[in-house]
Structure 1
Amino acid sequence: MYDIIGDVHGYASLLKKLLLEMGYSKTNGSYSHPKRKAVFVGDFINRGPEIRKTIRIIRNMVENGHAYAILGNHELNAIIYHIKDKQGKSIISKPSKYFLSLFKTINEYSSGSLEWREQLKWLRTLPLYLDFGEIRVVHACWSDEAVQTADTLYENGKIKKKVFRKLTKKSGSSVAKCLWLLTKGVNLKMPSDLRVMNNKGVSPRSIRIRWWDDLKGFTFKNASFESKFSMPLYTIPEEILPVTFPYPENAPIVFFGHYCRGAGPHIIKPNVCCVDSCVTGTKSLLAYRWSGEKELIMNHLVKV
């Protein structure tokens, strides 16, 4: 039985509170449950006030067999930022906005750079998805093709460094597309004549959308899976619709994070669940306690 835990983002105190709430206890430096295992959906670094502690908690649980953890887009960005090219130079010539939150993590390790390097090596050993048969776990989007590609990227138990170099190339290799699909989902590029404002007064040029649905005939509002702003009720022109990955009703339950669902809903369909409660905004952390059911049950959600 598994407890699938949403994006922690450096909030170690909330994570401890959630684990205790679910009956985990700390023994020999690691939290464990006598009958269950935790599953972390990625994005456990950056943003929060206790990033170093968060990594230690999760790594100890994983290495002691009490938990599983997968990579999110924030972990991928952390690894990419520290990868060097063949000349020993950073493969990131100019950090983009996606790397800004990483500096908070780096600053926490300013007096422990050796520890941070060890944690980066550990991150490279983590999977990009989990498939337990009856349930699946991915950070942002489940795609059978992307999952198959992910299986080819490991060598001696780690993702090969050359894989991360491909993620920075503008041409967009098939490997890069698959990895970003698993960890960032599907985005819809906004048409140039349509502008909306998010809650920070910014007009985004792309929005996160419902990858598990066929979006033909959907409006921008109904296709959106954003929490920062509302979209208009205009039907999306088919020529700008990105490819989505409709999730079959008879497929195993899939859990993911990434989408910052502070106000929910978290159970989207009987077999589709987002466990990201937007910890940096709501100061709450969410888990789903799966106990063998074929369809998701609302009261199996636990929030602290």
Structure 2
Amino acid sequence: MYDIIGDVHGEASMLKKLLKKMGYEKTNGSFSHPDRKAVFVGDFINRGPEIRKTLRMIRSMVEAGNAYAVLGNHEINAIIYHTKDKQGSLLIRKPNKYFLSLFKTINEFKLEPLEWKDTLNWLRTLPLFLDFGDIRIVHACWSEKAIEVARSIYTEGRIKKKVFRTIHKNSDSEISQNVWLLTKGVYLKMPSDLHVRNNKGVMPRSFRIKWWEDPKGKTFKDLSFESKYTLPDYTVPVEILPGVHPYPEDAPLLFFGHYCRWNGPVIIKPNICCVDSCVTGTSNLTAYRWSGEKVLNPDNVVTLK
């Protein structure tokens, strides 16, 4: 049986409290449970005050066989940031907004460069998804085509550096598009005359959508899966609708993070659950305790308050 844990983002102390609340104990350097295993949905790094400790905790659990983990978009950005091209030069020479959040992580490892290098190599051993038959885990979006691509690039127990070079250098490639689909989900570009401010006063030009639903006839508000702002309640023009990836009602239970749900809901549909509660040190860290049920049960949601 599995405990699926949301985005930790460097909050090691909070993770420790959540594990203990669920009956995990630290033995032989790793947290473990006599009957269960933890599953981490990605985004272990950045933001929080204990990033290095968080990585050590999760890695020790995975390597001891007490947990599983998948890559999130933050880990992929970290790998790309430190990957070199064939000539030996770093791929990222001038960080953009997607890489600025890495500086806190890098700073924690500045006195331990060998440990950071080893950690990056370990991150490349993590898959982009997990399929246990009755349950599935991915960081942001489940797409059958993207899953097949993910299978093809995970070889010899890791994702090779050339894959990350492709992701960065060729955004139109099949590999790049599908890796980001799994780890970032689907976005809808806003019309030029639609102006919305998020909770930081910024006007974003795209928003995250409910990729598992048919978007036709839905309003911007209904289609949105954002937590930082509310969109208007009028129908999205068919001409700007992005591709979606409907998730059947009879498909296995699906767990993902990425979407920062704050106070919920965690259970989105009877077989879809988002465990990312936007942990910040003062807000919650959430897990779902799966024990074989075919339909998600709200009573199995555990939140550290």
TM-score, normalised to structure 2's length?
0.98
Deviations 1:245-291 (A, max 9, x none): 11100000000000000021110100000000000275210000000
Percent of residue pairs bearing the same amino acid type: 70
Report Cα offsets for 1:153-206 as digits up to 9, x if no partner: 123211111111111135510100000000000000111111100000000011
Residue-by-residue CA offset, 1:124-154 (whole Å, 9 max, x unaligned): 0000000000000000000000000001112
C-alpha distance after superposition, 1:212-264 (max 9, x if no partner): 10110010000000000010001000110000111100000000000000021
Residue of structure 2 equivalent to 1:249? 249
Q: Which residue of 2 aligns with 1:28?
A: 28
Alignment of 1:147-158 (within 5 A): 147-158=147-158
Matched residues in 2 for 1:253 and 1:288: separation? 11
Offset of residue 293 of structure 1: 0.3
Aligned to 2:273: 273
Aligned to 1:298: 298
Determine helix, strand or coil for the equivalent of 1:118.
helix
Residue 16 in structure 1 maps to residue 20 in structure 2: no
Aligned to 1:231: 231
Letter of the 1:102 counterpart? L
Query: Conserved in 2, the CA contact under 8 Å of 1:82 and 1:90?
Result: yes
**Distance in structure 2 (CA, Å) of the matches to 1:144 and 1:58:** 27
Alpha-carbon distance in structure 1 between the residues aligned to 2:281 and 2:37: 27
The answer for the alignment partner of 2:91 in structure 1 is 91
Q: Give the Cα–Cα distance (whole angstroms) in 2 for the partners of residues 260 and 281 of structure 1.
A: 14
Unaligned runs of 5+ in 2: none
Which amino acid in structure 2 is aligned with residue 33 of structure 1?
Answer: H
- 8 Å Cα contact 2:266-2:273 kept in structure 1: yes
Contact persistence 2:32–2:66 (CA under 8 A)? yes
Counterpart-to-counterpart distance in 1, 2:154 and 2:254 = 23
Segment drifting more, 163-172 vs 40-49: 163-172
After TM superposition, list the pairs within 5 Å mapping 1:152-191 onto structure 2. Answer: 152-169=152-169, 171-191=171-191
Partner of 1:201: 201
Partners of 1:172 and 1:102 in 2: CA distance? 24
| Alpha-carbon separation, structure 2, partners of 1:158 and 1:88 | 21
Q: Is the 8 A contact 2:170 2:176 kept in 1?
A: no
Aligned residue pair count: 304
Note the C-alpha offset of 1:47: 0.5
RMSD: 0.9
| Partner AA of 2:21 in structure 1 | E
| Gapped regions of structure 1 (runs ≥ 5) | none
CA gap of 1:13–1:281, structure 2 versus 1, over 3 A, is closer
Is it true that 1:134 corresponds to 2:134 in the alignment? yes
Mapped partners of 1:297, 1:282: distance in 2: 26
Instruction: Give, in whole Å, the separation in 2 of the partners of 1:166 and 1:239.
Output: 30
3-state SS, counterpart of residue 152 of structure 1: helix
Superposition TM-score, scaled by structure 1 size = 0.99
CA distance in 1 between partners of 2:162 and 2:176 (Å): 11
Distance (whole Å) between structure 1 residues aligned to residue 142 and residue 113 of structure 2: 34
* Contact 2:171-2:177 at 8 Å conserved across structures: no
The more displaced of 92-101 and 266-275 is 92-101
| AA matched with 1:302 | V
